[in-house]
Amino acid sequence: MEDKSNSVSRQYVVFKLGKEDYGLDIQKVATIERIMPTTRVPKTPAFIKGVINLRGDIVPIMDLRSRFGLPAAPETEDTRSIILKIDDITFGIIVDEVDEVLQLTDDSIENIGNIATDLAVDYLMGVGKVNDRIVTILDVEKLAKIDEEENES
């Protein structure tokens, strides 16, 4: 019998940006949608693609490739918007492809604070190891705060 008392297991929605795998806590994911037409909002940062009308709610959409400084990629049949909800904040992120739901224990996620010092680590929680695969876990709350702060300027 395995003792898991020191290890909390969580589910993550795994998506791709290019060839890299990223994960989001499934508790923060409201829905996953096909790409919808966006309306650009003046004076917002370039990585805010605009807003969408999602079943009557206006939801801001962030281009995660642009946010992370990655080159733009054409939208494909696999491109998705992941709609996230944190407390009373709802926003979407555009990703290349949603891959799977993965269960990881806290023990299998390493802190990356000692690996990288880039600004990007501000919204990364850690790196999950699954067999020979690495999944970068995003901190959704910090991603939302960055979105909020930069919209206010």
pLDDT tens readout for residues 11-26: 999 999 999 999 999 9
Residue 123 covered by a domain: yes
The number of helices, as runs of H, and strands, as runs of E, in the chain is 2, 11
Residue 98 covered by a domain: yes
Q: Which residues of 5-14 are buried (b: 16+ CB within 10 A; e: fewer)?
A: eeeeebebbb
Whichever domain contains 45, its CATH number is 2.40.50.180
Residue 23 covered by a domain: yes
User: Which pTM does this prediction carry?
Assistant: 0.85
Residue 1 covered by a domain: no
Here the tokens at position 33 are 């949608």
* Cβ neighbours of residue 119 closer than 8 Å, sequence gap 6 or more: none
Residue 25 covered by a domain: yes
The answer to whether residue 115 scores a pLDDT higher than 70 is no
**Which residue from 144, 126, 146 is spatially nearest to 136, judged by alpha carbons?**
126
Residue 91 covered by a domain: yes
The residue count for the chain:
153
Integer Rg of the chain from CA: 16
Q: Which domain holds residue 36?
A: 9-152
How many folded domains does the chain comprise?
1
Average pLDDT on 110-134 reads 73
38 with 53: CB under 8 angstroms? no
Q: Work out the pLDDT band at 143, boundaries 50, 70, 90.
A: confident
